[in-house]
Structure formats: structure tokens, C-alpha cells
């Protein structure tokens, strides 16, 4: 299958839902991204700062770049001028750094809190308690240049569909809980639920995802992660 067929399929699958498509272009060269751009795709996801920045430099400026991978504090400055949404905020210290660099660039940067929902130890993310503690902190209240717009999560890499569904349901429930707990707070506007990848997006959409992050099912198999 080519990029055009794959993108059309995803556009069809999401057209009657509230779900947006982030095309995960990590490891693919700018030419492949341009093919998708020519077909109308504007939201792209990357997991490495240097790779995303190199692509941002050479590709059309109307692309919305989504940082979906683990982000180190010392690299925030490279993406702060242009990043559209950071999906992977997993500490107050990281959020503080994003706020500092957003201020320098005279921007407000939208962020999602990454929640640990998978069984695997290796996946990054916050617990429910940690997420509440960030949002309730006095320090967060002083950060004028970041806005929390939702949650992101990655389900366990398993063929057990019910396990994946259970993890997405947990994330959806937390999303609703945080949304109602912080309604009326100008720095917290919970609208986005980023969940679902090539292997599990169908379940994610059924469970209320507003953003699926699709790589290999659009661009083809990657040689490395
Ligand atoms: C690579 C990646 C994806 C996309 O994975 P595919 O299986 O290729 O769709 C989604 N989310 C994150 C955080 C990723 O790192």
C-alpha cells in the first residue's frame, strides 16, 4: 500500500468521529512527509528533538509538529520556537523548562500530560496521583506560558485486546476526572485525549480518543524504532 491509500483510509475512518490524525513520521525522510503534506496532511509526530528540528527547517511552515517522545529538559530550547503540541510531559521540572523557553519565544505552548497506563516498566509517564499533584502545585499556577490541554498514553504492547481496552478506558476516565476537577482554570483546558497507534487505534477510537498517532500504518514498516 502507498501513502495515499493509507492516508485516505485513515481520513475515512476518522471523518465521522472527533478524532484527529497525527502522522508519525519518525525515521522517514522529508520526501515521504512531503508526499503526505501534498495529500493535505498537516499534523506530524516525531520522537526525537534533533530529527524533528531538521525536518521543521526544510519542510513547509504550515506543518504542525507534535513531540510525542520522551523529552529531555536540555533540549526543550530547540523545539520551543515552533512545536505545536508536546504529548510527553512527565514531570513538573520538564514543564517548568517548557514554560521558561515558551516565555523566551513569547509563546504559550500546549502540552499533554503523559500517563503511564501500560504494564511495561519501560514506558514513561505519570501516575494519576502525580498528574494531580502537578496540576495542583503552586508552581504550576505561576507558569504563564504553558497550557495543559489533555492527556496522552500508550497501551501495553500485547495482542490481548481486552487488556488494551481496559487501559484506554482507565485513561479516558482520568481524562474526564481531570477535566471536571479543573474546569474554569485558564491554564488547564482538557480537550485532547491522545491514544492509539497503528496496532490499537481502532480500540482507542471506540474508547474516546481525540488524537491517534499513526506511523507504520501510513508510511510503512520502520527499520528501527
Ligand atoms: C512511534 C510512535 C507511535 C506510532 O507507532 P506506529 O506503531 O508506527 O503507529 C505512536 N506514539 C508514540 C509515542 C511513538 O513513539
Query: What's the average model confidence in pLDDT over 92-102?
Result: 98
Query: What's the average model confidence in pLDDT over 84-89?
Result: 98
CA of 136 from ligand 1 middle (Å) equals: 30
Q: What percent of the chain is modeled with pLDDT above 90?
A: 92
| Cβ 67 vs Cβ 85: under 8 Å | yes
Residue 36 has pLDDT above 60, yes or no: yes
pLDDT tens-digit series, residues 160-210: 999 999 999 999 999 999 999 999 898 999 999 999 999 999 999 999 999
CA of 46 from ligand 1 middle (Å) equals: 9
66 lines ligand 1 (CB under 6 A): no
214 lines ligand 1 (CB under 6 A): yes
- Of 27, 44, 47, 201, the one to substitute when testing ligand 1's pocket (max ligand atoms within 8 A of C-beta) is 47
CB atoms within 10 A of CB 18: 12
Residues near 74 by Cβ (< 8 Å), separated by ≥ 6?
none
pLDDT tens-digit series, residues 121-153: 776 899 999 999 999 999 999 999 999 999 999
CA 40/CA 13 separation, integer angstroms: 16
Q: What is the pLDDT of residue 222?
A: 83
CA of 190 from ligand 1 middle (Å) equals: 22
Query: What's the average model confidence in pLDDT over 4-32?
Result: 95
Q: What is the pLDDT of residue 42?
A: 98
Q: Report the atom number in ligand 1 closest to the C-alpha of 87.
A: 13
Amino acid at each position: 500500500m502507498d501513502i495515499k491509500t493509507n492516508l485516505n483510509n485513515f481520513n475515512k475512518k476518522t471523518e465521522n468521529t472527533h478524532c484527529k490524525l497525527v502522522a508519525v513520521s519518525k525515521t522517514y525522510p522529508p520526501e515521504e512527509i512531503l508526499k503526505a503534506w501534498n495529500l493535505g496532511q498537516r499534523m506530524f509526530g516525531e520522537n526525537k528533538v534533533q530529527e524533528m528540528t531538521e525536518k521543521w527547517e526544510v519542510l513547509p511552515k504550515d506543518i504542525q509538529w507534535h513531540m510525542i517522545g520522551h523529552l529531555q529538559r536540555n533540549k526543550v530550547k530547540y523545539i520551543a520556537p515552533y512545536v505545536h503540541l508536546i504529548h510527553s510531559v512527565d514531570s513538573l521540572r520538564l514543564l517548568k523548562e517548557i514554560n521558561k523557553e515558551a516565555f523566551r519565544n513569547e509563546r504559550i505552548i500546549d502540552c499533554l500530560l503523559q500517563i503511564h497506563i501500560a504494564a511495561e516498566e519501560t514506558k514513561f509517564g505519570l501516575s494519576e496521583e502525580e498528574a494531580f499533584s502537578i496540576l495542583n502545585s503552586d508552581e504550576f499556577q505561576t507558569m504563564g506560558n504553558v497550557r495543559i490541554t489533555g492527556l496522552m498514553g500508550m497501551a501495553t504492547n500485547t495482542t490481548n485486546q481486552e487488556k488494551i481496552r481496559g487501559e484506554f478506558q482507565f485513561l479516558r476516565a482520568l481524562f474526564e476526572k481531570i477535566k471536571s476537577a479543573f474546569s474554569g482554570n485558564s491554564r488547564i483546558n482538557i480537550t485532547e485525549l491522545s491514544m492509539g497507534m497503528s496496532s490499537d487505534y481502532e480500540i482507542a477510537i471506540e474508547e474516546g480518543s481525540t488524537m491517534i498517532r499513526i506511523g507504520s500504518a501510513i508510511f510503512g514498516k520502520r527499520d528501527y524504532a
